[in-house]
Structure 1
Amino acid sequence: MLILVLAEAALEPIPREIWDHPIIRSFSRRRGKHPRLIVLDRSHHHFAMKDLPNSEKRGRPDIVHFCLLEALGSPLNKEGLLRTYVHTIDDNAISIDPETRLPRNFNRFIGLIEDLFKHGHVPPKGKSLLSLETRSLPRLIEALKPTYTVIFERSGEPKTFEDVALKLAMENRPAVLVGGFPHGEFSEETIRLADEVVCVDSEVLDAWVIVSRIIYEYERAIGLPKKRLEQLINRGS
């Protein structure tokens, strides 16, 4: 089983420091919601958030949306061999049930996340598909108990996705940390969580590209594509 963590992810409610900014107040009135229940989004709040600490790493919920669609739609997840988590830049951990079918529409995804901010889990009643708790990334990793942890970072050792996946496939409970932010680097605290830090391309790749490729290479390393095709053939015979 592979553990995927979108780390330092640019997904958070509008922070208190900018609640009184005219852009935020106007946006809040239009949405009919308090800013604490609205997702920070650079496409709407750029001028209000530009002076926030680590501004370049914040306000990109679309990155999380794309990554989760790739992960949850993968054959690895359909086989029950993937566990997916989001750890946000404001130290919230989101656990995602493998059976979750996220909205493809971005606005509906934002509505889902805002419900999560409000209730702490969604749906509000019945089995929780997404749950939220305040927890630091080191505490989350400690709770997940990975046997080997890989971080994808430009400063890491050059390796191919295939080589990384082959190493992960040898572990009982490997974890990969992918940056869920648009610019910048992982904090030193996050880097210290890794057993290995790797760089997989000569250029910066989008987070969802890294997610999709490492999942696919891990599937190949454990023989999953062949296994699933054999199941298909056997059903037809």
Structure 2
Amino acid sequence: MGKLKIAILEASMELVPKEISNHPSVVKNAKKRGKPPAHTLLDVSIHYSAMLRIRDRLKRGRPDIVHVTLLEALESPLNRKGLLEIYVHTYDGKTIFIHPSTRIPRNYNRFTGLMEQLLVEGKVPPNTPQPLLHVKNMDLQDLLKAADTAGLLLLREECARESVKNVVEKALNNNLLIGVGGFPHGDFDRKTIEAADHCYSIYDESLTTWVVTSRLISAAEYLLNLL
């Protein structure tokens, strides 16, 4: 068995899009923080009124999902043993690569600042040849190649039911990237669904991204005799 590879797909984390960068709620928040509007994260709790008319608004503006999920993943025994690779593929087509030694800020405001720096500068720390975090414009097929996987195993409510243990065992034995939705509502884009080589559901109802990720990691820790 190899490493467990997980991607948070269509993650609801992006900089404020150009079409709403002049909206009063966006401008007010940016001014308060001393940043250009386009250099701040889209957040529905702050920009709700601005987001009412943007495309796929129910899937966007929830960077807290990525925050909680990465805190869960990077603090795990699996990651500490060097047996986890986790990627973030955002709604707007960016892939965030995360070094396993990265420690994500527990404070949400500090996390927001870190992600803004990453998405603006391209890497964190910005002036280093070996960053802890770096980001690239990359579609899902390119991510699969970059992660050196044999295919995508997508977790989706509408797919056949399978146990978490069997899903993780299949991924570990066949070098598959497990895709977990990183958005609060709705479904994956058609291109994401078509890219999947395997598709399973691990529960009868919708689960949060961090709960799914936690169950995957726990199953891998059991299968790899870490617990």
TM-score, normalised on structure 2?
0.95
Task: Name the counterpart of 1:178.
Answer: 180
What displacement does 1:148 show? 4.1
Task: Name the counterpart of 2:149.
Answer: 146
Equivalenced residue count is 224
Question: 2: distance between equivalents of 1:174 and 1:50?
Answer: 37
SS at match of 2:180: strand
Matching residue within 19, 34, 42 for 2:44:
42
In the alignment, structure 1 residue 98 sits paired with structure 2 residue 103:
no
Task: Name the counterpart of 1:164.
Answer: 167
Task: Name the counterpart of 2:224.
Answer: 222
Matching residue within 93, 104, 107 for 2:109:
107
Question: 1: distance between equivalents of 2:107 and 2:30?
Answer: 21
Is this contact kept in 2: 1:168–1:218, CA < 8 A? Answer: no
What displacement does 1:151 show? 0.8
One-letter identity of the residue aligned with 1:11? M
One-letter identity of the residue aligned with 2:19? E
Task: Name the counterpart of 2:80.
Answer: 78
One-letter identity of the residue aligned with 2:139? S
Task: Name the counterpart of 2:34.
Answer: 32
Is this contact kept in 2: 1:169–1:222, CA < 8 A? Answer: no
One-letter identity of the residue aligned with 2:216? I
In the alignment, structure 1 residue 209 sits paired with structure 2 residue 225:
no
In the alignment, structure 1 residue 121 sits paired with structure 2 residue 123:
yes
What displacement does 1:164 show? 1.0
Matching residue within 76, 86, 89 for 1:87:
89
What does the per-residue CA deviation read over 1:63-109, in whole Å, with 9 as the maximum and x for residues that have no partner?
00011111111111111111111010011110000000110111110
Task: Name the counterpart of 2:64.
Answer: 62
What displacement does 1:202 show? 1.3
Is this contact kept in 1: 2:182–2:209, CA < 8 A? Answer: yes
Unaligned runs of 5+ in 2: none
What does the per-residue CA deviation read over 1:3-38, in whole Å, with 9 as the maximum and x for residues that have no partner?
111000000000000011121122221121111110
TM-score, normalised on structure 1?
0.91
- Between stretches 137-146 and 205-214, larger displacement belongs to 137-146
Larger radius of gyration: 1
Question: 2: distance between equivalents of 1:160 and 1:44?
Answer: 38
Task: Name the counterpart of 1:193.
Answer: 195
Question: 2: distance between equivalents of 1:224 and 1:69?
Answer: 19
Unaligned runs of 5+ in 1: 226-237
- Between stretches 188-197 and 7-16, larger displacement belongs to 188-197
In the alignment, structure 1 residue 23 sits paired with structure 2 residue 56:
no
Is this contact kept in 1: 2:144–2:151, CA < 8 A? Answer: no
SS at match of 2:195: coil
What displacement does 1:137 show? 1.6
